[in-house]
């Protein structure tokens, strides 16, 4: 399946950003994350490659400030996928290397010229 140009260009842009970026298709399947994201996620993209949403979300557990698991449907990226709108949240994420970090996530939909939904991108950063 050929990727829409909007996804291709977002992936290209991600390579130039200093902000971590996580890119998914309309089903939530991981397409790419950039080098700044690798430090927070705990593994290089070349090691993980693309993967289904159920796999990456279980590999990256999210909890609130009280240590309670955040349901997948309440994560910003999943809200954006379900509702095709931006979403934001602050929470703790355990990377694939076992390191837990507090992050802020802003997820945005990726739309075509005719407003067709092509996927979403999550920009995130660690709270020090």
- CATH number for 86: 3.30.450.20
Binned at pLDDT 50, 70 and 90, residue 128 comes out as: confident
Cα distance between residue 93 and residue 61, in whole Å: 6
Identify the domain containing residue 61 by its residue range: 5-126
For residues 19 and 123, is the Cβ–Cβ distance under 8 A? yes
What's this model's pTM, rounded to 2 decimal places?
Answer: 0.92
The total domain count for the chain is 1
Q: How many CA atoms lie within 13 A of 71 on its CB side?
A: 3
Residues in the chain: 128
For residues 112 and 118, is the Cβ–Cβ distance under 8 A? yes
Cα distance between residue 38 and residue 126, in whole Å: 12
- Residues 52-80 have pLDDT tens digits of 999 998 999 999 999 999 999 999 999 99
- Residue 38: strand, helix, or coil: helix
Q: Which residues contact 9 (CB under 8 A, 6 or more apart)?
A: none
- Residues 75-112 have pLDDT tens digits of 999 999 999 999 999 999 999 999 999 999 999 999 99
Q: Strand (E) positions, the chain?
A: 21-24, 30-33, 62-63, 87-94, 100-111, 117-126
């Amino acid at each position: 399946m050929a990727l829409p140009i909007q996804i291709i260009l977002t992936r290209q842009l991600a390579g130039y950003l200093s902000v971590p970026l996580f890119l998914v298709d309309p089903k939530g399947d991981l397409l790419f994350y950039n080098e700044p994201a690798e430090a927070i996620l705990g593994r290089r993209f070349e090691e993980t490659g693309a993967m289904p949403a159920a796999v990456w979300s279980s590999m990256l557990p999210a909890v609130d400030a009280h240590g309670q698991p955040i349901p997948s449907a309440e994560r910003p990226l999943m809200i954006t996928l379900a509702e095709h709108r931006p979403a934001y949240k602050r929470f703790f994420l355990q990377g694939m290397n076992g390191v837990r970090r507090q992050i802020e996530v802003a997820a945005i939909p990726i739309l075509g010229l005719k407003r067709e939904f092509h996927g979403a991108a999550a920009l995130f950063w660690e709270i020090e």
